[in-house]
Each structure stands twice: as C-alpha cells, then as structure tokens.
Chains A and B, each alone.
Chain A
C-alpha cells in the first residue's frame, strides 16, 4: 500500500499549522502525536507544540518534562542531544487541564467578576463542566484555538481526548453554540426569571417537579441563568473555533491499529471527516506486526507446519552442533517455534485483510511496526517518529 503513495507525513507537517490526531482508545494516539511533533521540531525547525490530554508518566519523562501542565514547557535541548540530535527548532509540550481551562473560559466570558465567581462556586458547575455537552471535547478545541491565536507556535500537534464517539470532538463547537441559543435553555430558565410560567412548558414542570423536586430544578435553573450571561462571547468563540477546524491550515491524522474494533471506528471516522469537509491528511496504522509474519508466498507457514509434525527428524538432522542439548528438548523448542509462528501469522493475516479492507484513504498511509519495548526517552520517540516520517 505504501509504495504507490506520493505524499509523506513530513510534507504534511510542513504544509500545515495544526495537526489533529484522532482515533479510538489504546491505539497509541498520544505517542504518535508526540513522535510526529518531535520529528518536526528536530528536522523542520520552528516552534512546535504537542498538546496532549492525558499523557502517560512515561511519555512526560520521555519528553524530559517532570509533569507538564496547562502552561506549555519546553523540552530541553539536552534531551535531544542525549538522542544524538541537534534539533533545528524547539519542541514544547502542554497538557490539557479540563477544569482549569473551563475556569479561565468562564472568567473570560462572564460579564463581571461577581458573576464569574458565582458560576465557579455553583455546586452544579463542576458536575456540569465534567459531563455536559462533551465538556472535555469542547475545551480541547477551545484551548487549541487560543494557542493558535497567540501565534507563538509554527505547528501545533493535538492529541484528542478519548471519546465514546469520535464525532463528539468535531461537533463540540457547533453543539456549544447551539446550546446557548436553544429554545430549551430558554424554556428551562424563563419561569424562574419571570415567575410567569410558560403555558407550553407546564406539563413538563408538573412532571419534573414530581420526579426531581422543585428545589433541584430551581438550582439547575439558577445555574443556567448565570451561565447564559456568557452566551454572546461563547457563541462567537465557538463559531471561530469551528472555522479554525475547517481552515486549510488544519489537517487530521487518523491513528488506528489493525484490530477489528479500532479499525472499524477509524473507517467510520474517515467517512465522517469527509462528510463534514475536514481535511484528512494521513492514516497511521500503528502497532502493525512485521512483514515476515504476513508470509506472502506461504513458504514460512509451510515450513512451520512441517516442523510441527516433524520436529524429531529435524532435531536429529541438526545433530552435531547441538550435541550438548538433548534431541528431545531440541525437538520441543522447534515445535514451539513452529507453533508460535503459526499463531502470530494468523493475526498478521487478519491485519493484512483489515488493511486491504480500508475503503477511502488519504494520500498518506503509513504503517508503523509493533514496538516490542515501551518508549522511555526522546530517542525512542524519535525512532518511532522516523518510521512515520517519510
């Protein structure tokens, strides 16, 4: 598949300012985003930021950062030097702190400090920012927008939050804008603002009262009345964020393994990106088993099958060089080696079928081999990056 592709991740990163990595949980999205950013900083220069959501401690260490927070910190050049590389640019890393980001958003959009304080103190606030309208997704794109607006970075690579539904991230800004202009929000808050209970909403309040209790409903309404004061700023901002995602400087990279479930989700996501007219720059097939297991000609599998049944003969034929090893033990090892090959070959073939089944694919599709060991330093990250790069 790789052979007939013309583009590369290298070109993709050179031509864009924002790269958004997405894919389902457990596919190595965070590491891939960090590796791509590290390569861009090392080879292309400029200021490169990787914005991650929930990095493993190991990844933070690999970047030479003790624990990076909402404020971006620079990966020390020493970490690059240790990997034997003199970077042409700078690599920065920041983590998304959902709660902190929401708080600062509220402070910015509330009409005055008093209202901001009342929102932040509201007991429902934390609950609602934690659960409501995909609060994590929205804040991730919002933060991206802010960083881009600052104009400090030449390239921002974003690792998206794990979502139950890949679409949540894309739809978050629009949904946020919808929410503030919704009739439902008005219906919920109006009766408490005016004491004049809207006739149309009456049955709702009767039922809601019986189930939730008046006090609770009132708490909710009060909170939303406060929240509504931020509407104009929020709506405008959400629309700007949405425009940025569609901007030609922004591209998406879908990361997936070739296991059935993540691959299925990746395909769905690719379709949805197209339907929403986002730019799909690359697909990264991660943790792919090595080629020798795909065994195109079938010779290795035939050998393994022969060995499975005829290990004793093979052990005898090996003879002299293995004098200090009992032939029975040698035969057992050969059998195990053969069986193991057949087991992994089955999985590798499943992967190859999965790869072939990918429908619509972008210009750039890269396969990254299974890294047998975890990545513990920038050198490891750059090695992975090198596999994605060209």
Chain B
C-alpha cells in the first residue's frame, strides 16, 4: 500500500460459480485511492467494474462467490472482515451511490425516513426528529428545492435526477471518507447527467470525499476524474492520470473507447466509430490478451498475456497491457485525424 492511500486494493479477484463453470468477473485488480482523489473505473458491461466496486463493501459476498486478494481501508482489511465490522464501514466510512435511482430506494417508505434509517443505523443516539432535521439539511445541500417539505415525500414522487441527488445525500449522511458511485448517471437524461456530475465534483472539492466513479462513459470521466482505470473482461488494461489516458492512450481498447466518444469540439464524423465484435464470455476467455479477437492490430505475440506495466520511460504511473511498442501505438491510434480504433479489414 502506497503511503497516503485511503483505500487500496491488491490483486482483487472475484469469481462466481455458475452452471457453465467458474466465472472470473474480476481478475487481479489493484489500485490506490488517495484522500480527496477521484478515481474513475471505465469499461463495458461485463468488464468487472461494478463487481469491483460492490466487492469493496462486501456486497458480492455469497456462497457462490470466490473472493481473493485484499482491500484495505486504512489499516482495516475489508475482504475478510466480519459482518459486524463490515457494517460499521458501510455508510459510515464508505458511502455508495447506485446506478438506478428509480429502484434503489424502497418504494414503500418516505424518502426522508430512509435517510434517517441510514443515520440511525450508526448513531443510535440520534433521535428521529434530529435525524429528520439532518435529512432536510442533506437534501438541501444536494440542491433539492423545498427540502423541508420534500423530505416526507415518497421516492416515486421525485424525478429521476432529484432521486439521484437524494441518493447522494443519503450516501453522504454520515460524512464518509470514501464515496463509491456506481454508474451514477447512466439511468438519467443527458442534461440531468451533467447536473449530477457537477454535484459530485462539487462535493469532492468542498468536502474532500475521495470518490470512485464507475462508468462506461469516458465523457463522464473527462469532467471529474483525476485518475482513470480502464477495465476489460475482468482485468485492468490501462491506467494513468486523466491527461495520460486522454492524450496518450496506450491500449487499443482505450482508443476504441475514445474513438466512440462524441466530441462537441470536433466536426462530427459521418459514422460514429464502434468497437466491432462483442466482449468475450468470461467463461471462455481467449488465450493471451482478452481483447485480441476484437483488435485490428493483434499479432503473434498477443497469444501471450501482456502484464500491466509502465511501458513509457517518462510516465511511471501510466501502465497498460499491450505488446505494441510506444512508437507503433502512436502511429496506429491515429484514425482520420483523431484517436480511434480502426475498423478491422
């Protein structure tokens, strides 16, 4: 664990027993999250990013799950923590925001009472009235107008964006050190997405909450992240600072993600580029590099799994899993004047 890291994962592995065999959803993921930092984990569906996030809080624990490696919050090991110890961390030290605000609140309880429940789970001495006052304050601080009245509304009476704000308010109720936001904007309209992102950014800036942002959308990443980790098929394929990932991406998969971004500052290409093919089944991964079947640049060496290493002499924190040389990468990622993944021949 590097000094100063608040949360640190080492060789995290999560597998699920399925009918078709062991499904390795997360395969050897390591990262450090420093205080006040925003770390984005990016990848397609099935890349293991959500499983990684949920495993930190022990939400993937089940008899069918095989979890290995280490996740430490300060000095506390979370992976083998007892249920009671884990409960103290959940909500209190790590807050979590989920993807779909429509389904993430219990429909039969008033929204305020669900926030009060979160507070009182950890602070038994807080009365219901005090909890309610705190809930009003929280709702107000995430920009919900007329919070005093809305606190007694039911979740279905809130719009999607407001509900996600309320979800963030609930996650922050106990002022946790870490906030994990699992695709917090995916289920929202585009205009609302920007507002919610701005809120997250503001909270990070004002309160210094270290944030892990899980998303499939590099556009979201560009707005708020300090560092970026790109995942594919359960493994990290590239990681670096925001600038390194956006201006000097090393892995063809990252190129593909960047290429499929709609950029408002450039002329819109005739056809939005896509990464061809589908993500591989985690039950039957190809030998070597997992991205090989979809990669137009694959060559003989790709049958061997590349390690996650810093391959650029002047950027020790920028790692990737690709056998191409930095020069080849610089040349091959240029598609029509911008970064992208060319269509296979």
Q: Do A and B come from one complex?
A: no
